[in-house]
Chain A
Amino acid sequence: METRLYTRRAVLKGGALVVGFSFAGLPLASAQGVAQAGAAPGRTLDQRQVDAFLAVRRNGSVIVYSGKVDLGTGHRIAMRQMVAEELAIPVTRIELIEGDTALTPDQGSTAGSSGVTRGGVQLRQAAATAREALIARASTHLGRPAAELELADGYVRATGGSARISLGELVGDSAFDVPMNPKARLKDPGTYTVVGQPLPRPDIPAKLTGRYVYVHDFKLPGMMHARVVRPPAVAAQLLDYDAGSIAQIPGTQVVRIKDFLAIVSDDEWAAVRAARELKTRWSEAATLIGHTAVRAWARSGPFTNNEVLVNKGTTAALAGSAHALRAAYYWPVQSHASIGPSCAVADVQADHATIWSASQGTHRYQSAYAQMLGLPREKVHLIYLDGAGCYGMNGHDDAAADAVLLSRALKRPVRVQWTREDELGWDPKGPPQLLEISATLDAAGHIDAWETEMWLPTATANLAHVPLLAPQAAGMPQPVGESTGLIAQNGDPPYRAPNVKVHVHWIAQAPLRPSNIRAPGKVANCFAVESFVDELAAHAGVDPLEFRLRDLADPRGVEVLKKAAALIGWQPRSASESRRATQPVATGRGLAYVHYKNNENYVAIAMEVAVERSSGKISVKRVACAHDCGLMINPDNVRAQVEGCILQTISRTLYEETEFDRSRVTSVDWSSYRLLRFPDVPQLDIALIDRRHEPPLGAGEAATAPVAAALANAVFDATGARLREAPFTHERVRAALAQA
């Protein structure tokens, strides 16, 4: 791990600079923020040192340096709670600096629900190490043995005595200079007073009153506004443009770098209009396959390789078995569909650059921009500012690349704001997934042999980052490959099964540039696996809850399944008993379960739906969810994440597919890319299981996984129709009803 010193000059660059947030969530700008950031001279980013994560100011308040960021997910309070608990100080005495490449250590991207589980846990260990160091120092100061000292309310004090010394006096404004101790003793969770409390998020009041500075709101003196003019087809080349076509719009300038074309202006509206009205000519390009062809295309290759992920017992007999059940499930290409189109601000100087970005991985993209600028990595400083929720890599990193190119060309700070069409059309997409499952039951109706075959776009090994649009268009060198996240997990049944095989055909290239989208792969895989389990239960004539419980050994899994079933008021019945074919609106309930990544959260979801037979419209009436994510740092944050996981995935399941023709994405607004709306929102009953003695597992993703299967299983329960392809459009529902 490289060690770099914090340099005050680099941070001062740019004037109205935000480096942190006050406890109230208001940005700490300019002089105030810089003074605070500079409170720990000589700070290191070496993660073997406590100083990489923590600093104490003379007044005794603590600064936490987090490489992981708050994506609207509540990390800002959760990280503070983890540190506050170990150091025995109130959360209000903690400032948090996040995702700043000059100030915070590189803890990896905030993805894969890793914020608390990896980032927070590291901060907690730093705080526990710091506590030991503070007690050792205080022992010298106070002349008392360490065993008689404790931390309380910003002091180290002697137990049962009056001697005490404040944290500020012990280390104020100087370094801890102690290595991280992975064995530093953590507080006993049984004694927690801060962790586990539903403390309010510090950023909410400022966000609710319009004071919060999102990256979209960040301004620099002399900053120009830019809009990128995208080609009408992926991979089209710019032939020429007619500057005269925007002569009537004052104060605009066209920037062209090969096929990268943009308008800049001091006036944002002028840039918007000029980008719309500029006449351009592009080459024809028809390199895409079109969304309707993806499902068939997935099986056709070319494939980079086939990989066997699970191989237990033997599934050889399945292939020729006349008794085997088989079904294929498809999940389409989807957009992150952020409500705010991506935005970034860059200020490129001759020998260094500063970039304000809502990136999930500011450290990761440092090298991408450094390469574009021909600068050493450490001369490129990224500062995280909130964007609209992203749920994976949306357009933020591309917007930052756009801004970098333009600021370099203009020698001015540039703000790039994507349009709605940019975001839905050009954000890297969630990849399509095709799964085929076959299985046989034994004489007693239990799973005997199970095989999952997957067709998934490959993830390129060791890819530095997702290739970005701007350098691509400008003809700059880029890493070659694709990134999708760990999309092959949870392809096996989470129940006892003696013979299981899971294998993947890795497709060489995705139909549209992919990236990680919330719970990568697991949404589709759990949809397939838990729908198929339901098909097996129906085939065996066994109640779906009973079918799962009788072959589920893990008690934490059993608990969430029983809890979700109790919340929905599950009445045991086999599926065939429930269909009321005569009613115009059929209602039913279904459930699904996941042990996320086979080693993280336990989640069960039960749902009640109504299906209007004539139209094929599905209404989700009620969702019950039981959720076990180990230790909950902040149960209200967990609940908010679970709510979001459920509602967002209902939206993805019922409505969402990125549509594209041979040239371009065509679902580029909110009428062609539909989202869940308020009237569609079901009643939510969420039970959070308290497991304070287990490790924290995070809550940003897991509850997405069982949603689609629970929904499809409820539709089956209501109508006998199986939905095996998302989204569950009215047409697909009607088609499935016709076959049921």
Chain B
Amino acid sequence: MASYRLIVNGEPRSIEAWDPAQPLLYALRNALGLHGVKFGCGLGQCGACTVLIDGAPARSCTTTIAQAAGKSVTTLEGLGSPERPHPVQAAFIAEQAAQCGYCTNGIVMTAVGLLARTPHPTAEQVKTALAGNLCRCGSHDRVVRAVLRAAAGAGS
């Protein structure tokens, strides 16, 4: 067992793993109990597992624990809580921008990454940024509205 140190949601954490190739996804969900991050494909194709690594959206299913070591990871739980949601979370709640909500983790994390780079995106830019996030329920229209709402600062 090796031990990997990383910052998760602002806290230094040390994670034991027998395999340096273990995806960050399992460390977050199981070792740390942060199950906001979702397993969707394990192939880097759907975006459900997206977290922020050093502020940029990354797929935790294809990022190994060894690659994440020494980095700062933010998960959905780290953005905000039901009582004090992050502005993007608040905008999604206001727009009721989820059906089953399984894809939503990855969409929110990708949106947070987008707004950090492009604070005032157009609807087209939002769609392009989310091109790698799949949603089967068809929440897309609300999602785009929610991201634009967050960008307009009307989320909270």
Q: A residues touching B (Cβ–Cβ < 8 Å)?
A: 24, 26, 71-73, 200-201, 203-214, 216-217, 250, 267-270, 272-273, 337-341, 386-389, 391, 417, 419-420, 636, 640, 643-648, 669-671, 675-679, 681, 684
Nearest CB to that of B44 among chain A residues?
Answer: A670
Which residues of A have CB within 8 Å of B40?
339-341, 388, 420
B34 touches A420 (CB 8 A): no
Alpha-carbon distance A64/B42, docked complex (angstroms)? 38
Alpha-carbon distance A267/B30, docked complex (angstroms)? 9
Alpha-carbon distance A340/B35, docked complex (angstroms)? 13
B45 touches A678 (CB 8 A): no
Nearest CB to that of B45 among chain A residues?
Answer: A670
Nearest CB to that of B36 among chain A residues?
Answer: A210
A204 touches B96 (CB 8 A): yes
Which residues of A have CB within 8 Å of B128?
678-679
For this complex, 29 residue pairs linking A to B, each with C-beta atoms less than 8 Å apart, are A204-B92, A205-B93, A207-B98, A208-B92, A208-B108, A209-B81, A209-B89, A210-B75, A211-B36, A211-B81, A214-B38, A214-B102, A269-B19, A272-B42, A339-B137, A388-B40, A419-B42, A643-B142, A644-B99, A648-B137, A669-B43, A670-B43, A677-B134, A678-B127, A678-B130, A678-B131, A678-B144, A681-B127, A681-B141
Which of the residues A216, A341, A420, A681 comes within 8 Å of B144, measured between beta carbons? A681
Interface bits B21-45 vs A (CB < 8 Å: 1, else 0): 0110010011000111111111101
Nearest CB to that of B75 among chain A residues?
Answer: A210
A268 to chain B, nearest CB (A): 5
Which residues of B have CB within 8 Å of A676?
140
Which residues of A have CB within 8 Å of B30?
267-268
Asked whether A269 and B26 contact (CB < 8 A) given A208-B104, A389-B137, A648-B137, the answer is yes
Which residues of B have CB within 8 Å of A205?
82, 85, 93
State the majority secondary structure of interface residues on A: loop
B79 at interface by CB-CB < 8 Å:
yes
Q: B residues touching A (Cβ–Cβ < 8 Å)?
A: 17-19, 22-23, 26, 29-30, 34-43, 45-46, 48, 75-77, 79-82, 85, 89, 92-93, 96, 98-105, 108, 124, 126-128, 130-144
Which residues of A have CB within 8 Å of B80?
209
A337 to chain B, nearest CB (A): 6
Alpha-carbon distance A450/B75, docked complex (angstroms)? 58
B77 touches A204 (CB 8 A): no
B18 touches A270 (CB 8 A): yes
Alpha-carbon distance A573/B27, docked complex (angstroms)? 61
Add 5 more A-B contacts to A340-B100, A388-B103 (CB < 8 A): A208-B104, A210-B37, A419-B42, A420-B41, A671-B45
A636 touches B96 (CB 8 A): yes
Nearest CB to that of B81 among chain A residues?
Answer: A209
Which of the residues A268, A272, A644 comes within 8 Å of B138, measured between beta carbons? A644
Alpha-carbon distance A419/B43, docked complex (angstroms)? 10
B133 touches A670 (CB 8 A): no
B99 touches A339 (CB 8 A): no
Which residues of A have CB within 8 Å of B103?
339, 388
A648 touches B138 (CB 8 A): yes
B67 to chain A, nearest CB (A): 15
A391 touches B142 (CB 8 A): no
Which of the residues B41, B75, B102, B141 comes within 8 Å of A389, measured between beta carbons? B102
Asked whether A209 and B101 contact (CB < 8 A) given A269-B23, A647-B138, A669-B45, the answer is no
Alpha-carbon distance A205/B23, docked complex (angstroms)? 27
Alpha-carbon distance A213/B137, docked complex (angstroms)? 19
Which residues of B have CB within 8 Å of A681?
127, 140-141, 144
Alpha-carbon distance A204/B85, docked complex (angstroms)? 12
Which residues of A have CB within 8 Å of B79?
209
Alpha-carbon distance A389/B136, docked complex (angstroms)? 7
B43 to chain A, nearest CB (A): 6
Which residues of B have CB within 8 Å of A204?
92-93, 96, 98, 101
Alpha-carbon distance A200/B48, docked complex (angstroms)? 24
Asked whether A208 and B85 contact (CB < 8 A) given A339-B46, A386-B100, A669-B43, the answer is yes
A204 to chain B, nearest CB (A): 6
B149 to chain A, nearest CB (A): 13
A640 touches B142 (CB 8 A): yes
Which residues of A have CB within 8 Å of B143?
678
B145 to chain A, nearest CB (A): 11
Which residues of A have CB within 8 Å of B81?
209, 211
Asked whether A203 and B101 contact (CB < 8 A) given A210-B77, A217-B35, A268-B26, the answer is yes
Asked whether A640 and B139 contact (CB < 8 A) given A250-B18, A679-B128, the answer is yes
B138 touches A645 (CB 8 A): yes
Alpha-carbon distance A323/B81, docked complex (angstroms)? 67
Which residues of B have CB within 8 Å of A212?
101
B136 touches A648 (CB 8 A): yes
A339 touches B135 (CB 8 A): yes
A27 to chain B, nearest CB (A): 12
6 cross-chain pairs, A with B, having the tightest CB-CB distances, nearest first: A210-B36, A72-B100, A644-B138, A647-B138, A210-B76, A207-B101
Which residues of A have CB within 8 Å of B137?
72, 339, 389, 644, 648
Nearest CB to that of B100 among chain A residues?
Answer: A72
Nearest CB to that of B133 among chain A residues?
Answer: A678
A643 touches B139 (CB 8 A): yes
A71 touches B35 (CB 8 A): no
Which of the residues A209, A386, A389 comes within 8 Å of B77, measured between beta carbons? A209
Which residues of B have CB within 8 Å of A670?
41, 43, 45-46, 134
A642 to chain B, nearest CB (A): 9
Which residues of B have CB within 8 Å of A644?
99, 137-139
